Structure 1
Amino acid sequence: MRRSQQHGHDYDYGPDHACESAYEPYEPYTPHGPMDPNEPHRTRPRLRRVTAVAVATLVTLTLLPVAADRFVAARIESRTAEAFQEGMDTPVEPDVHVRGFPVVTQAASGTLDHVDITAHDVPARGNKRPLPVSELSLWLDGLTKSDDDSEARARSAEATAFLSYADVSNALGLEISQGRSPGRVSAVVLLPLGEEVTVTTTVSADSGNRIAFDDFTVSGGALPAVGSAVLDKVFERPIQLRNIPAGLHLRSVTPTSDGLSARFSGRAVTFRPDEESQGDA
């Protein structure tokens, strides 16, 4: 304790720290009371609303061109499917996909960079031995259409056609299936007295989009001369593939477990109505 005399009076200041504790420590003012150093900083509601609006606006501006481009692509795909179905006379519209972005720019230029088309049950008419195409897949580059909409043309194209063994059998008049050796198919031929032999033959691509059958062999018994003559007649003439877009050329034919897989490629591939396509073939 400290004492002091002044003008005859004693002043008692108490403990040495009494003067220091006479006032409360200063705390900065906040609208919500004293700041707690352990309390996380709280974003103001107005700032949160402004941020949300800005983010939503940015997302909208980003998605609008994509949505508009997708709308144009869907419209082109739908019209292409309708035209292909009418021209190729398929029972259902094919699947059409326009690739690349933006499609709006491609449409404005009059040329679509890449178009994929998958059609089913393409018929074959005007042929003594019609062989329909179970599935036709096309990959087109640089697709344009004529001014009068009478035809469409691709700068280049590749395609695969699947031909079922059931359709091949109907065309040949024999029940055809995959052979045991690569590149060959087989058929069972019934002989008099209930006997049967197995005939195998190679399958290959011939000019003019035709499938050729060569080098047939017989196993499981002897084939009478008359039977051999019949098989010669069946296999000597290749099967013509109809309703294939003009400009596509058959490159190879591969027997699979379910049918024949035919591969095509070509340049300046033209799509016309069914009767014109058959006339070109």
Structure 2
Amino acid sequence: MTAHTPARPRKKKSRRGKFLIITVLVLGVLLVAADFALAAAGEYQIAQRMREKLQLNEDPNVRINGFPFILQALRGDYTHVRIDALGVPIKDEQQGVDLRDLDIGADLRHTRVELADLLAGNVSKATIDEVEGSVKIKAPDLNRLANQVTPFDKLSIEPDNRVATPTPADPLAPKTTAAIKLSGQTNVAGKVVTLTAYGQIALVSGAIQINIANIELDDISLNQIVPQLRQALAIKIDPGKLPFGVTPTAVEVESGAFKLTGKITDVPLVQR
């Protein structure tokens, strides 16, 4: 007669293991939620300060990149903060700046501020190792400025993809010119004429200078007005300083906009 071997209590161990897994998952979810909540609080405080600094009508969009946030917070070093503000008007009568629909952006590399100060909104001592600022000047502002000289309508901005980009001697050097294609309409003696203009934009003393090389009209019988249109589109657009007082050093053409960029190092998050 063989002895009966009692079965091992596997159910208790199985339940214990499931309980531990569920506990770990719940704690993980809570930690992630807490991390995002702290990041959101920090983003809100930076947005408030940026609204004052950039003199905006509403809070910009602020994103503190990198996960987990708490590790950056404990170090007091936020490796990459992205700030965006859309549809920003800038008017300075003394400087002759009158733009109504700018997109402003800034990438902040290594923003240094203690977590307690950040959450309290006390960022007077906060510094940034490097800021890359940008401003986009969009077609509606170009159309309005061009319309002050000659009646233009529906002007659009595109890169001129017919032109091969030359290989620069220094690949790291900022690009100060870019090929452009402008399309739109004008009115000649009560007749609507469609035009396509090709040329380039150049960075001149922190401003964009448009230079048109040639213009194509849908009605070649009106080619005598091409020199007039070329002159009317030779517009200089000065957006002033970029965010954080950055001086523009590079220019490029995107679909629908001219973009100015520049960098500055060792700057305060807010003016002292």
Q: What TM-score do the two structures reach when normalised by structure 1?
A: 0.64
Contact persistence 1:153–1:269 (CA under 8 A): yes
3-state SS in 1 of match to 2:40: helix
Question: Where do 1:119-130 residues align within 5 Å?
Answer: 119-127=85-93, 128=96, 130=98
- 2:129 corresponds to which residue? 155
| Kept in 2: contact 1:141–1:155 (CA 8 A) | yes
**Counterpart in the other structure of 1:35:** none
Q: Distance in 1 between matches of 2:254 and 2:23?
A: 57
1:101/1:177 Cα in 2 relative to 1: closer, same or farther (>3 Å)? closer
Q: Check if 1:241 corresponds to 2:239.
A: yes
Q: More deviation in 135-144 or 179-188?
A: 179-188
The reply on whether 1:191 has 2:188 as its aligned counterpart is yes
- Written as runs of structure 1 = structure 2, the 5 A alignment for 1:62-77 is 62=28, 65-77=31-43
Within a 5 Å distance, the mapping from 1:61-210 to structure 2 comes to: 62=28, 65-127=31-93, 128=96, 130-144=98-112, 149=123, 154-173=128-147, 174-175=152-153, 176-178=155-157, 181-182=160-161, 183-192=180-189, 194=191, 196=193, 198=195, 200-210=197-207
The gaps in structure 2 that reach 5 residues or longer are 162-179
Higher relative contact order (CA closer than 8 Å, sequence separation 6+): 2
CA RMSD of aligned residues (A): 3.9
- How far did residue 204 of structure 1 move? 1.6
Partner of 1:9: none
1:88-120 C-alpha deviation (Å, 9 max, x unpaired):
344543332212244334334443111122321
Query: What SS does the aligned partner of 1:29 have?
Result: coil
Decide whether the 8 Å contact of 2:123 with 2:269 is kept in 1.
no
Distance 1:231 1:163 in 2: 20
Equivalent pairs, count: 235
Question: Structure 1's 199 and 30: CA in aligned 2 closer, same or farther, altered over 3 A?
Answer: closer
Query: TM-score w.r.t. structure 2 length?
Result: 0.66
Stretches of structure 1 lacking an aligned partner (at least 5 in a row): 1-25, 32-40, 277-281
Compare the two structures and name the one with the higher strand fraction: 2
| Residues 108, 185 of structure 1: alpha-carbon distance in 2 compared, 3 angstrom cutoff | same
Whole-angstrom CA distance in 2 between matches of 1:193 and 1:120: 36
Q: Give SS of 1:120's match.
A: strand
1:215-230 map, 5 Å: 215-219=212-216, 220=220, 221-223=222-224, 228=228
Q: Give the Cα–Cα distance (whole angstroms) in 2 for the partners of residues 151 and 172 of structure 1.
A: 44
Question: Contact (CA 8 Å) 2:215, 2:230: kept in 1 or not?
Answer: no
